[in-house]
Amino acid sequence: MWWEECKSIEAKIIAMRRDLHKIPELGFHLPKTREYVTHQLDEIGIPYRLSEKDSSIIATLKGKHPGKVLALRADMDALPITEDTELPFCSEHKGCMHACGHDAHTAMLLGAIRVLYPHREELSGEIRFLFQTAEEQAKGATVLLEKGALEGVDAIFGMHIGSILGKDIPSGTIVCVPGPVMASYDRFILEVQGVGCHASTPEKGIDPINIAAHIVLALQAIPSREIAGTEPAILTIGLIHGGELYNAIPSGVRIEGTTRAFQEDVRQRLAKRIKEVSENTAKAFGGSVSLTMDFGAPPVTNDSDLTALAQGCLKEVFQDKLLTHIDKPSMIGEDFALYQQSVPGCFLFLSSSNPEKGTDYPHHHAKFTVDEDVLWKGSAAFVALAEVFLKGQ
């Protein structure tokens, strides 16, 4: 089987991950990352297209005969976090770090291309390798969709490394389950407006800090008192900013938070009630509020037929380290869900949680890193999926 060849290039996959780890970049524009990835693609000889809007890349492998079209996706962007791992290949970009494993995702997909490309004449159909930007902002998938990345595509697979589904899942285990696996995630911003005044004469103003405090408390009741316990929903406030002096009432306060859900109607209900509750609370105290609802991505929901196909071929790769059931999905979000709105998709989870190696820190942590011993298995999973999906059609 072709996937076994990934073990022979394990050192190359690790080296690519380390190279990418040194040059983390944020958002849509990843010039050094794109230059590195395209250099690897040129070395392999595979053709690719570049986006004019961002740093995303679409590489294409065409088989000898017509057939289905499969897409495989990796994200490339990093996070605004100062690294604290003391790794010899730690970030060279101050205040920026691959703290979510996207460097590993990119390296694993590049490893899969290195194995698949020499076998192209044995395949029927086409593989599109999508290297995406701005996943952390839930915006990068949209750019690739606008570029036509999924036109004519029959199915898409993606993968996330780390411990998203729990650090107790042993390193080297792959999780492949049908149905909802990750929640929707959206951001909301509330600008509370009052009237500033001196702290000694609060009656002469309208206190936005007081209003903000009541809004925060009122919002907490939405998921606990308005959403059924059988419908998971989270509303979290992560930022409050207002005031500059201890003895002055400011004119405004900014509140930011996030919502998570698995059902679209719950997702929309949360947004609607945030607006209603915050506006009426502010009005009750004589102030006002404006809401910006930044919708990120819907829930990641794996297609049942595609997941069954994946489970069948991944069993050979991972043996007893294949999980086909989880007790509960993750409330973390992923814009891979946007691809699943266009074509059947399946999102996999590759555990790299190993306490003995210090790779069990949570995602977005300054000490986050991955167990590099599992990287070749990520490449092997992509290769196995492509081989089963396209070979011998």
Give the residue numbers of the binding site for Mn(2+). 100, 102, 136, 160, 364
pLDDT band of residue 41 (cuts 50, 70, 90) is very high
Structure token digits, residue 196:
């500033």
Q: Is the pLDDT score of 393 beyond 70?
A: no
Q: Is the pLDDT score of 313 beyond 50?
A: yes
Rounded to two decimals, what is the model's pTM? 0.93
Q: Is the pLDDT score of 178 beyond 60?
A: yes
Strands (E), the chain: 48-50, 57-62, 65-75, 124-132, 155-162, 174-175, 179-182, 184-193, 197-198, 233-242, 248-249, 252-261, 288-297, 300-302, 322-323, 345-351
Give the residue numbers of the binding site. 100, 102, 136, 160, 364
Reported as a single tens digit per residue, the pLDDT across 230-262 is 899 999 999 999 999 999 999 999 999 999 999
What's the pLDDT score for residue 113?
98
What's the pLDDT score for residue 143?
97
CB-based contact 345:171 (threshold 8 Å): no
Give the burial class of 200: count Cβ atoms within 10 A of its Cβ; 0-12 exposed, 13-18 middle, 19 or more buried: exposed
Reported as a single tens digit per residue, the pLDDT across 270-289 is 999 999 999 999 999 999 99
Tell me how far apart the alpha carbons of residues 2 and 143 are, in angstroms, rounded to a whole number: 32
For the residues 301-330, what does the mean pLDDT come to?
95
**Of 382, 379, 299, residue with least CA distance to 339:** 299
**Of 115, 120, 127, 125, residue with least CA distance to 157:** 127
Neighbours of 115 (CB within 10 A): 23
Reported as a single tens digit per residue, the pLDDT across 324-382 is 999 889 999 999 999 999 999 999 999 999 999 999 999 999 999 999 999 999 999 99
**Helix (H/G/I), strand (E/B), else coil: 160:** strand
Identify any residues that bridge with 288 across adjacent strands, giving them in sequence order: 193
Is the domain 184-294 a CATH 3.30.70.360 member?
A: yes
Q: At what angle do helices 31-44 and 102-116 cross, to 10 degrees?
A: 20
What's the pLDDT score for residue 1?
87
Tell me how far apart the alpha carbons of residues 221 and 226 are, in angstroms, rounded to a whole number: 7
Report the topology of domain 2-183+299-390.
Answer: Aminopeptidase (3.40.630)
- Residue bearing tokens 């791992």: 85
Q: Is the pLDDT score of 150 beyond 50?
A: yes
Q: Is the pLDDT score of 391 beyond 90?
A: no
List the chain domain ranges: 2-183+299-390, 184-294
